[in-house]
């Protein structure tokens, strides 16, 4: 193992500029992948944020008894789509209205016109127009229910948006990932081919394939890791800068895309060098 | 030590070697001569286990080479040295490192590497140039370095593929003298060459033409 490490290091030293070039290439292509990851992660986070706002409101008729309300609340809470049910009294509704729109508006009318309601937060998987509609449908016909609302139009639009976003994201993601794979595999292949001569001589003098491989394992690991690290740092900084300019956007932690890049780089470095070396050794017989 | 029995090598439909049989004994010196494209290098590659014969039997030190498991192939290659017309030295390492390379990549210990390398360099008479880079050497000197590298595992057999092909007559004679000297110390040598001038002495001569060995060419 000592030999393999020393050989890997000395070969990196020997081919200094070449290594810089290939690490740079790997870093650059991972950086582009990183931008994609950053955008995806953040859009995904934003979508999730929006989805938590999908709420079903059941407005109750005036004069409904506490028992009837409790019974309905219990029924609704038992539905699989429902995460949480809150009872909002007429007074609480008025209070909320006041904080939202100011005192004066309500003082103008003689008695509190706002209905009591049950506000339903849906479970994560059901935060869509289908989920909301199912809950709405099951209670709409109840005698104590005045009306059910969940912002049908915007929830449906949100659903469409999410679908388009994920389809587009998938296509772009596959394209970028394949390009990254292609570039890195080729970069690593070039560094292996650059050592073709010495590999040929190793075989000539009776080095075993395992022995020939080991330094390349470390070289691939090193180049992939370093490329991933550079790209990761760049992405992390980019994220930090984005935070400065887009403070009102909920940006998720840039650490995850950055760490993914280090992992992907290292993995591709190791796998890439293994594969191209295997092909070369097979061709040398 | 090395027996070829009815060795045939086919590439597609054409025969590179056809029914080649001969044998090289311990400490023997044999020339392998024939025109370009006759199959000389192919024979050496077969013995070096770089080229698998299509048919026929290769027996190495009493064992059928076809029965060698693949992880034994490198071990066999350590027991035979090879040198080539183009030397095959690594340009980015000096003489000492080039020779030591053969030991390092076969897992030798550091102490052994230094000692054995210096000994091989002195055997071929190039110790004084041990820090030189290959491009600073003459062709003859480069071939000496290649020979030193081939010697570090103390081979029983040295395969030489036109070792003097790129050398001036004087250097060619020196290399042949060196090989003859090694042969006297017990290393068997199989040398492919075009150079009729060098083919002399009490050596076995194998003549090959279009992949076939011409009969009865012993002297
Ligand atoms: N991999 C291969 N595929 C097809 N044909 C090959 C292959 N290797 C060698 N040959 C052919 O086999 C023949 C013998 O080649 P070889 O290299 O053994 O000749 P040689 O006697 O060493 O020639 P030279 O003196 O020029 O070195 C040539 O005609 C060559 O074109
Ligand atoms: Mg040849």
Q: What is the pLDDT along chain B (219 residues), one digit of tens a residue?
A: 899 999 999 999 999 999 999 999 999 999 999 999 999 999 999 999 999 999 999 999 999 998 889 889 999 999 999 999 999 999 989 999 999 999 998 988 988 999 999 999 999 999 999 999 999 999 999 999 999 999 999 999 999 999 999 999 999 999 999 999 999 999 999 999 988 888 887 889 999 999 999 976 444
pLDDT > 80? residue A5 = no
β-pairing verdict for B80-84 and B157-161: parallel
Residue B82 sits at the chain A interface (C-beta within 8 Å): yes
CA distances from A102 to A96, A97, A110 (A): 10, 7, 16
H-type alpha helices, chain B? 40-47, 73-79, 95-104, 110-123, 139-151, 169-184
CA distance A206 to chain B (A): 4
A vs B: CB pairs below 8 A: 50
CB contact (8 A) between residue A211 and residue B105: yes
Residue A111 sits at the chain B interface (C-beta within 8 Å): no
CA distance A28 to chain B (A): 29
The CATH number given to A55-149 is 3.30.70.3040
How far apart, in whole angstroms, are the C-alpha atoms of residue B19 and residue B25?
Answer: 20
Where exactly does CATH 3.30.70.3040 map onto chain A?
55-149
CB contact (8 A) between residue B105 and residue A285: no
Ligand 2 centroid vs A199 CA: distance in angstroms?
Answer: 21
How far apart, in whole angstroms, are the C-alpha atoms of residue B81 and residue B157?
Answer: 6
Two tokens, residue B28: 């023997």
CB contact (8 A) between residue A205 and residue B75: no
Sorted by where each starts, the structural domains of chain B and their CATH numbers stand as: 2-213 (3.40.50.300)
Residues whose beta carbons lie less than 5 angstroms from ion ligand 2: B 41
In angstroms, how far is the first alpha carbon of chain B from the final one?
20
What pLDDT does B13 receive? Answer: 92
A31 contacts A235 by C-beta, under 8 angstroms? yes
Q: Is B41 in the pocket of ligand 1 (CB under 6 A)?
A: yes
B22 contacts B206 by C-beta, under 8 angstroms? yes
Q: What is the mean pLDDT of chain A?
A: 86
What pLDDT does B219 receive? Answer: 46
Two tokens, residue B18: 């056809």
CB contact (8 A) between residue B82 and residue A203: no
For residue B43, the ligand 1 atom closest to its alpha carbon is 18
DSSP B56: E
pLDDT > 70? residue A31 = yes
- Chain B positions touching A2 (Cβ under 8 A) are none
Among the partner-chain residues B51, B92, B102, the one whose CB lies closest to the CB of A205 is: B102
């Amino acid at each position: 193992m000592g030999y393999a490490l020393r050989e890997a290091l000395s070969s990196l030293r020997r081919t200094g500029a070449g290594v810089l070039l290939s690490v740079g290439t790997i870093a650059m292509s991972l950086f582009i992948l990183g931008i994609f990851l950053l955008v995806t992660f953040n859009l995904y986070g934003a979508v999730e944020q929006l989805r938590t706002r999908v709420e079903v409101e059941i407005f109750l008729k005036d004069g409904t008894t506490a028992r009837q309300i409790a019974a309905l609340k219990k029924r609704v809470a038992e539905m699989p789509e429902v995460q949480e049910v809150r009872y909002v009294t007429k007074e609480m509704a008025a209070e909320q209205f006041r904080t939202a729109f100011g005192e004066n508006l309500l003082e103008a009318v003689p008695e509190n016109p706002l209905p009591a309601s049950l506000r339903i937060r849906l479970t994560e998987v059901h935060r869509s127009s289908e989920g909301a509609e199912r809950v709405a449908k099951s209670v709409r016909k109840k005698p104590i229910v005045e009306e059910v609302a969940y912002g049908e139009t915007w929830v449906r639009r949100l659903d469409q948006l999410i679908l388009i976003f994920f389809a587009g994201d998938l296509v772009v993601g596959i394209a970028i990932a394949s390009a990254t794979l292609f570039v890195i595999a080729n970069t690593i292949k070039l560094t292996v081919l650059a050592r073709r001569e010495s590999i040929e001589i190793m075989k000539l003098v009776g080095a075993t394939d395992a022995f020939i491989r080991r330094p390349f394992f470390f070289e691939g690991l090193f180049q992939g890791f370093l490329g991933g690290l550079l790209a990761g740092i760049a992405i992390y900084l980019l994220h930090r800068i984005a935070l400065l300019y887009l403070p009102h956007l909920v940006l998720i932690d840039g650490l995850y895309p950055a760490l993914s890049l280090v992992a992907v780089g290292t993995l591709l470095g190791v796998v890439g060098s293994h594969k191209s070396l295997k092909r070369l050794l097979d061709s040398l017989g | 030590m090395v027996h070829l029995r009815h060795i045939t090598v086919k590439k597609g439909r054409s025969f590179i070697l056809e029914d080649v049989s001969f044998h090289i004994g311990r400490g023997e010196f044999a020339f392998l001569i024939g025109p370009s494209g006759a199959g000389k290098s192919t024979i050496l590659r077969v013995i070096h286990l770089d080229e698998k014969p299509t048919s026929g039997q290769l027996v190495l030190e009493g064992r059928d080479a076809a029965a060698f498991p693949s992880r034994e192939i490198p071990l066999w290659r350590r027991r035979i040295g090879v040198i080539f017309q183009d030397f095959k030295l690594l340009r980015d390492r000096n003489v000492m490192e080039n020779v030591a390379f053969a030991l390092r990549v076969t897992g030798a210990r550091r102490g052994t590497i230094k000692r054995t390398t210096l000994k091989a360099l002195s055997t071929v008479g190039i110790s004084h140039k041990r820090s030189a880079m290959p491009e600073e050497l003459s062709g003859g000197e480069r071939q000496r370095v290649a020979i030193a590298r081939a010697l570090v595992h103390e081979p029983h057999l040295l395969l030489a593929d036109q070792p003097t092909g790129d050398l001036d007559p004087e250097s060619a004679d020196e290399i042949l003298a060196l090989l003859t000297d090694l042969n006297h110390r017990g290393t068997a040598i199989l040398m492919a060459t075009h150079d009729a001038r060098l083919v002399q002495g009490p050596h076995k001569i194998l003549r090959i033409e279009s992949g076939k060995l011409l009969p009865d060419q012993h002297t």
